[in-house]
């Protein structure tokens, strides 16, 4: 990648974009890093340039690309943040400051993990763009990891698998997550990586040849039904997710049906359903494998129609059908909502990403580092767990972490409901209060208005930070109450 490649990439996405600041930032960074080389032996500037290139590929605005070009300047050169601010403005300087802060971690082992996680959450809460730059920076570092000593390779790759990839996933950045994982996989589990590559390389080519035939049949049928402008391609499953799936299926590749899926991109939502209809007219779908993530998007915002069918000669094939917009969101997730914001600043977030704002609020609440570390355990669980959606009898939808219980739901509705909860009905049946809820459950919380305090036992199974804190607060109040009565009695 050269600066000209970068500029033409930006222009390709937005012909009206003003790239003069980008070019200026490149010259500035190239001068600052002059004479420095990376461990690969190349000039240092290649790294910020590649980082900026990854972000341009994601069609993110010019201020972010400027910040990416400058991201290592204050850390590695004599140029200060103040000088950056003078030349490129406060917004760019603020982003670079954020990335510089993320970079400095001196701890080892578990301490390092916690500190890292804390910093990532802080960055996420204050400006998501900093995180996007950090992801791109990490991605390029992984692409050139070969040049580092093995110990460092392992540490960086492991940190990517444990921290960066789950956060990218939570933000719906599917392509980023997959690339981070696949590049790290090789260094963290080298033998498992070789094994996965080997079985993939054996199984994939015949499947690809077969899918060429399927594509032709489907294309013909779609034309007959008047579905136009169809883009069809075979999507190879990413290695790390294939590996994880293989572990789940006794390492038996014949049980994995989406090794290569056929991805179909059409202009409108209506076209998506037409394509689904045509596919089901041609081939019989497998029971329980039709997934309408358009009507019910995944908690991270992913939308598509999925179906798995008994295809030609009884082979099992998965199809994924989506529009261009859905495709973009599936690849870059939350970053898709940055494009059209003129200033490049945080745009209004879609419903499924509101938790990022919640995170910002929590972070403000817990400004003390020590407290933050204490809260981290529960916070981490809230964020890294997948989300489920359950319904109240009135039809309200409540978003909870996976395995949340009726008590978590009760506290999500209101602390009074939580404190006076005496039972729960899930889909019209009485269940124990510690039963894990599932997406789509209709949950009715039974309360008793005479009950004012929760049971301390609930702390053993609740999953959300909110429920935990509210139970503790109510118990504390109760104890204070007892104590006061006791004092009064003693006075008498
Ligand atoms: Mn860097």
Residue 408 sits in the same domain as residue 486: yes
**Å from CA of 71 to ligand 1 middle:** 6
For the segment 51-79, the average pLDDT, to the nearest whole number, is 93
Q: Range of 250's domain?
A: 191-333
Quick one: pLDDT at residue 340? 47
Quick one: pLDDT at residue 266? 96
- CA 63, CA 19: separation in Å to the nearest integer? 10
Residue 225 sits in the same domain as residue 317: yes
**Å from CA of 46 to ligand 1 middle:** 10
- CA 438, CA 423: separation in Å to the nearest integer? 17
- CA 253, CA 437: separation in Å to the nearest integer? 31
| Better pLDDT: 334 or 287 | 287
Residue 293 sits in the same domain as residue 217: yes
| Better pLDDT: 473 or 336 | 473
Element containing residue 75 per DSSP (H, E): helix 73-76
CATH number at residue 110: 1.10.3210.10
Contact between 204 and 260 (Cβ < 8 Å): yes
Domain presence at residue 215: yes
Domain presence at residue 288: yes
Residue 115 sits in the same domain as residue 60: yes
Range of weakest confidence among 10-14, 19-23, 70-74, 262-266: 10-14
Domain presence at residue 475: yes
From residue 423, alpha-carbon distances to 79, 104, 390, 441, 463 in Å are 63, 49, 17, 16, 17
**Å from CA of 128 to ligand 1 middle:** 17
CATH number at residue 456: 3.10.20.30
**Å from CA of 130 to ligand 1 middle:** 12
User: What is the pLDDT confidence band of residue 451, given thresholds at 50, 70 and 90?
Assistant: confident
Residue 141 sits in the same domain as residue 13: yes
Residue 51 sits in the same domain as residue 126: yes
**Å from CA of 66 to ligand 1 middle:** 13
Sequence-distant (≥ 6) Cβ neighbours of residue 42 within 8 angstroms: none
**Å from CA of 380 to ligand 1 middle:** 26
Give 430's strand partners.
425
* Strand ranges, E, within 297-357: 305-310, 316-323
- How many Cβ atoms are within 10 Å of 213's Cβ, its own excluded? 12
User: What is the pLDDT confidence band of residue 290, given thresholds at 50, 70 and 90?
Assistant: very high
Sequence-distant (≥ 6) Cβ neighbours of residue 223 within 8 angstroms: none
Domain presence at residue 137: yes
Catalytic residue among 14, 76, 312, 402: 76
182 is a catalytic site residue: no
pLDDT digits (tens, 9 = 90+) for 204-238: 999 999 999 999 999 999 999 999 888 999 999 99
**Å from CA of 384 to ligand 1 middle:** 26
Residue 311 sits in the same domain as residue 256: yes
Residue 18 sits in the same domain as residue 119: yes
Residue 321 sits in the same domain as residue 393: no
pLDDT digits (tens, 9 = 90+) for 387-441: 777 888 877 778 888 889 999 999 999 999 999 999 999 988 999 999 999 877 8
Contact between 425 and 392 (Cβ < 8 Å): no
- CA 306, CA 258: separation in Å to the nearest integer? 11
Contact between 210 and 262 (Cβ < 8 Å): no
**Å from CA of 47 to ligand 1 middle:** 7
For the segment 60-78, the average pLDDT, to the nearest whole number, is 92
- CA 430, CA 453: separation in Å to the nearest integer? 21
pLDDT digits (tens, 9 = 90+) for 187-196: 999 999 999 9
**Å from CA of 101 to ligand 1 middle:** 12
Domain presence at residue 355: no
Mean pLDDT of the chain: 86
Residue that terminates a domain, selected from 305, 333, 361:
333
Domain presence at residue 360: no
For the segment 457-463, the average pLDDT, to the nearest whole number, is 93
**Å from CA of 134 to ligand 1 middle:** 8
Contact between 457 and 421 (Cβ < 8 Å): no
Residue 219 sits in the same domain as residue 321: yes
Helix, strand, coil distribution of the chain in percent, nearest 5: 60, 10, 25
* 46: nearest Cα among 10, 1, 77, 79: 1
* Strand ranges, E, within 257-405: 260-266, 284-285, 291-292, 305-310, 316-323, 387-391, 397-401
Catalytic residue among 27, 75, 231, 448: 75
Residue 199 sits in the same domain as residue 313: yes
For the segment 12-34, the average pLDDT, to the nearest whole number, is 93
Residue 207 sits in the same domain as residue 329: yes
- CA 448, CA 443: separation in Å to the nearest integer? 16
Domain presence at residue 41: yes
What is the token pair recorded at 144?
A: 């050139």
Three-state secondary-structure class, residue 9: helix
- CA 185, CA 179: separation in Å to the nearest integer? 10
Domain presence at residue 181: no
Contact between 172 and 334 (Cβ < 8 Å): yes
**Å from CA of 44 to ligand 1 middle:** 10
Sequence-distant (≥ 6) Cβ neighbours of residue 259 within 8 angstroms: 200, 203, 204, 207, 236, 237, 242, 253
- pLDDT of 20 strictly over 70: yes
**Å from CA of 76 to ligand 1 middle:** 10
* 20: nearest Cα among 100, 87, 77, 74: 87
For the segment 56-68, the average pLDDT, to the nearest whole number, is 91
457 is a catalytic site residue: no
For the segment 235-243, the average pLDDT, to the nearest whole number, is 94
Residue that terminates a domain, selected from 128, 147, 166:
147
- Total domains in the fold of the chain: 3
For the segment 272-291, the average pLDDT, to the nearest whole number, is 94
CATH number at residue 290: 3.30.460.10
Quick one: pLDDT at residue 346? 52
For the segment 62-80, the average pLDDT, to the nearest whole number, is 93
**Å from CA of 132 to ligand 1 middle:** 12
**Percentage of the chain surpassing pLDDT 70?**
85
pLDDT digits (tens, 9 = 90+) for 300-359: 788 999 999 999 988 999 999 999 999 988 888 888 776 545 555 555 667 666 666 666
- CA 75, CA 243: separation in Å to the nearest integer? 37
């Amino acid at each position: 990648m050269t600066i000209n490649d970068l500029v033409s990439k930006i222009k390709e996405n937005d012909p009206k974009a003003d790239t003069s600041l980008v070019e200026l930032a490149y010259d500035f960074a190239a001068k600052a890093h002059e004479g420095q080389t990376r461990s690969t032996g190349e000039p240092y500037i290649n790294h910020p340039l590649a980082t900026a290139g990854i972000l341009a590929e994601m069609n993110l605005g010019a201020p972010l690309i400027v910040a990416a070009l400058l991201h290592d300047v204050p850390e590695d050169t004599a140029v200060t943040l103040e000088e950056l601010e003078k030349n490129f403005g406060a917004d760019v300087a603020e982003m670079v400051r954020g990335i510089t802060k993320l970079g400095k971690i001196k701890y080892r082992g578990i301490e390092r993990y916690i500190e890292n996680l804390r910093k990532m959450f802080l960055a996420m809460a204050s400006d998501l763009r900093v995180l996007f730059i950090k992801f791109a920076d990490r991605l390029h570092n992984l692409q050139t990891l070969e040049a580092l000593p093995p110990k460092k390779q392992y540490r960086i790759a492991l940190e990517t698998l444990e921290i960066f990839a789950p956060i990218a996933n939570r933000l719906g950045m599917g392509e980023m997550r997959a690339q981070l994982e696949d590049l790290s996989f090789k260094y963290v589990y080298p033998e498992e990586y070789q094994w996965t590559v080997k079985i993939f390389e054996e199984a994939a080519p015949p499947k690809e040849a077969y899918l060429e035939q399927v594509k032709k049949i489907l294309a013909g049928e779609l034309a007959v039904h008047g579905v136009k402008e169809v883009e069809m391609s075979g999507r190879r499953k990413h290695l790390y997710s294939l590996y994880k799936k293989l572990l789940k299926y006794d390492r038996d590749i014949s049980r994995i049906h989406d090794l290569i899926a056929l991805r179909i991109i059409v202009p409108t939502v209506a076209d998506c359903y037409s394509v689904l209809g045509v596919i089901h007219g041609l081939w019989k779908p497998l029971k329980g494998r039709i997934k309408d993530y358009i009507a019910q998007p995944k908690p991270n915002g992913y939308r598509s129609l999925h179906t798995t069918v008994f295809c030609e000669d009884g082979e099992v094939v998965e199809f994924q059908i989506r529009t261009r917009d859905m495709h973009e969101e599936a690849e870059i997730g939350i970053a898709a909502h940055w494009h059209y914001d003129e200033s490049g600043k945080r745009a209004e977030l879609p419903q499924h990403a509101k938790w990022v704002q919640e995170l910002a609020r929590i972070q403000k609440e817990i400004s003390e580092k020590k407290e933050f570390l204490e809260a981290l355990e529960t916070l981490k669980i809230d964020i890294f767990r997948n989300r489920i959606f359950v319904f109240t009898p009135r039809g309200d939808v409540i978003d909870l972490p996976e395995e949340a219980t009726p008590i978590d739901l009760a506290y999500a509705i209101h602390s009074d409901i939580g404190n006076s909860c005496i039972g729960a009905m899930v889909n019209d049946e009485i269940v124990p209060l510690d039963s894990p809820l599932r997406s789509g459950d209709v949950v009715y919380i039974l309360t008793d208005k005479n009950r004012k305090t929760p049971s301390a036992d609930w702390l053993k199974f609740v999953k959300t930070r909110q429920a935990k804190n509210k139970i503790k607060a109510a118990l504390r109040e109760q104890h204070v109450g007892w104590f006061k009565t006791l004092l009064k009695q003693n006075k008498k």
